[in-house]
Amino acid sequence: MATLPILTFPAKSLKQPSAPVHKVTNEIRQLVKNMFETMAAGCGIGLAAPQVGQNIAVFVMDVGKKNPKDEKNIILTPFCLINPRILEKSGDTTYAEGCLSCPDLTVEVDRAQRVVVEALDVDGKLQQYVFEDLEAVCVQHEMDHLAGVLLTDHISRLKRELYKKKLKHHSP
Ligand code: ZN
């Protein structure tokens, strides 16, 4: 396994829509493993393939759940979704979202509280998932990435320009 470099705003490929995966190959499975490692190294809860320079419809997430018997113990809840499609959305929720591709930016985005999603797993099998709350938010955030939409698209143009300036200021 290896950690991959993460592209950050305003990298062009982050703005491009991703193509569906035709076949889940060993190459894709290797990419998924590396994406899990990259996400963990960056302390993220989700990572989409375009963030590591691959414009294909793949994302990983692991929101983690507290162990009810031991609050300090976090249970891993890894998911890999390939060619995800939202079948149902319901409810409303808002989280202050961050993104490994948008350092030092948090944005409150209105999302559905619950989503039903269909996607291929790493074995190429079609699966259906129901996600709620933070997991549902994460799915919608990652699916934004696959459509070429970033957190910076959820803020005003003025704020985006200020953010761009701030990033330039901090880059070496
Ligand atoms: Zn993101």
Pair of tokens at residue 78: 């890894």
CB 115 within 8 A of CB 88: yes
Which residues are bridge partners to 99 per DSSP? Answer: 102
Q: Is 126 exposed, middle or buried (0-12, 13-18, 19+ CB in 10 A)?
A: exposed
DSSP string, 5-35: PPP-TT-GGGGSPPBPPSS--HHHHHHHHHH
Catalytic residue among 88, 132, 142, 161: 142
Tens digits of per-residue pLDDT, 4-35? 999 999 999 999 999 999 999 999 999 999 99
Q: Distance from the CA of 72 to the center of ligand 1, in angstroms?
A: 26
Q: Distance from the CA of 159 to the center of ligand 1, in angstroms?
A: 18
Tell me whether residue 142 is one of the annotated catalytic residues: yes
Q: Distance from the CA of 141 to the center of ligand 1, in angstroms?
A: 6
Q: Distance from the CA of 69 to the center of ligand 1, in angstroms?
A: 31
Tens digits of per-residue pLDDT, 31-84? 999 999 999 999 999 999 999 999 999 999 999 877 777 777 778 889 999 999
Q: Distance from the CA of 75 to the center of ligand 1, in angstroms?
A: 22
Tens digits of per-residue pLDDT, 81-126? 999 999 999 999 999 999 999 999 999 999 999 999 999 999 999 9
CA distances from 120 to 28, 64, 142, 157 (A): 12, 21, 15, 36
Alpha helices by DSSP H, the chain: 26-41, 133-146, 157-170
Residues 6+ apart with CB under 8 A from 72: none
Pair of tokens at residue 171: 């880059």
73-88 in b/e form (b: 16+ CB < 10 A) is eeeeeebbbbbbebee
Q: Distance from the CA of 66 to the center of ligand 1, in angstroms?
A: 23
